[in-house]
Amino acid sequence: MKQETKFYFWLALRMLMSRGSQLFSLSGLNALTGLILGVACLVVSMAVMSGFESTLRQSVVDVTGHIQILIKSSSGIPKKELVDRIKVLEPSFQAATRFSYLEAVMAHEGKISGVVLQGLDPEDVTQVLGMQKRLIDGKFQLKALEDGKTEKVDQALIGRGLAAQMDLKVGDRFRLVLPLRNDLDPSQFRRKLGTFQVSGVLDLGKYEYNQRMILTSLEATQKLAEIGDRYSGLLLKFKEVEKSRAIAAKLGAGLGSGYIIRDWKEVNENLFEAVGLERVVVFFVILVIVIAAAFNVASTLYVNVVTRYSEIGLLKSMGVSKKRVAQIFSFQGLVMGFIGLCGGLLLGAFLCFLFGWVESQYSLLPGSIYRVDRIDLLVRPVDILMISAATLLICFVATLAPALRGSSLSPVEGLKNE
């Protein structure tokens, strides 16, 4: 049975590739071109959506870690005590760093901007966050440095958008104004002024981060906010980022109500949900192009059936069954679909490369709209598998009509055309 199937597949190829075949006619080439373009569009669209999600996820993880633990209590909790409890609850724990968040106003050379000041522990921040690889200028320096006058200057890393907006370069100093509650009159606020020096500029991947984020040492934020040794919470890293949601739920149940626990996805829940929905919608919308192209292939095969009445009649007179005749033309449809699929995958890969190059040169995405300044296109194997399966299935279904038409032809009717 296997040898017989191979023979009919070989026969289908010979008939498809012969000089009189409609494959090399203008309509046949147009049908294949349409199929190639449809598959290429699917590849590029899925690569863009996957790349957008991956780029956004990596930027969030690099800044917030896999999981954030916010401490509700106003009293300081020793880091070691909290980490020991986390290790017991989740063996895949890798590292933790203390952090604090402050909202302040930056002032520099007559310009002001609202910013978020994130204080991090210089001793272990690189074990949790991927900030160092995002440095585009200067040094990754959080600890205060002496300026030669026995005075220590707090160092800060800023997003590239903020650096451009405030015209700041490495080595420049700027001031932050922080509102603090007045101890004498709780209804009033007093201003606390802090001076920082730019030690480096970061590309944090996400537009809001680049426009507002300032990173400094935890000690500097504690001093500025006058909170002693207290901190906002811990940023955690685990072995597998994909399991963060389940781990966060486990930690929430184990640590109790004194903590607010959020995983990296929860920080931008709505955005990630929208990306997942848009991926499905885009896939099916562009799949319509492939469906239209597949039916063009079917029309080419139908013409091929009509022009081969004599060959079909001869095959039937030799005892070839209707099922085998239908199989021959179904094979031809699958071969044309496979050619279109391969051509589309190659063209799609080239267009992805071209898109990446153009984006790196001309910055196509406005970050204020798309949340990210650039996208690293990602071609996932599962996307290629889905595109391939959908394309071949559509081509097979579309070619059933011409295949059945060929199989229903009687030997006498076919030989009359000889």
Residue 164 vs residues 122, 167, 170, 381: alpha-carbon distances, Å = 26, 5, 12, 38
- Written in H, E and C, the secondary structure of 296-365 is HHHHHHHHHHHHCHHHHHHHHHCCCCHHHHHHHHHHHHHHHHHHHHHHHHHHHHHHHHHHHHHHHHHCCC
- Ordered per-residue pLDDT tens for the chain, 418 residues: 466 666 556 656 666 665 555 555 666 677 788 888 888 988 988 888 888 888 888 888 888 889 999 888 766 678 888 888 898 898 899 999 999 988 899 988 888 888 999 999 988 888 998 888 888 898 988 888 776 565 788 899 998 889 988 999 998 999 998 888 766 566 677 788 888 999 999 988 788 888 889 999 999 998 888 888 888 889 999 998 888 889 999 998 888 888 889 988 887 777 778 778 888 888 888 888 888 888 777 777 666 665 555 566 655 566 566 666 666 667 777 777 888 889 999 999 999 888 877 777 666 565 445 556 667 788 888 889 988 888 888 887 877 776 666 566 555 554 455 5
Q: How far apart (Å, rounded) are the C-alpha atoms in residues 258 and 261? A: 10
- Written in H, E and C, the secondary structure of 168-216 is CCCCCEEEEEEEEECCCCCCCEEEEEEEEEEEEEECCCEHHHHHHEEEE
Backbone φ and ψ of 157, nearest 5°: -105, 135
Residue 152: half-sphere exposure toward Cβ, Cα within 13 Å = 11
The residues spanned by each domain of the chain are 2-59+271-416, 73-257
Environment class of 199 (CB within 10 Å of its CB; exposed 0-12, middle 13-18, buried 19+): buried
Report the relative pairing of strands 93-108 and 173-181 from DSSP bridges: antiparallel
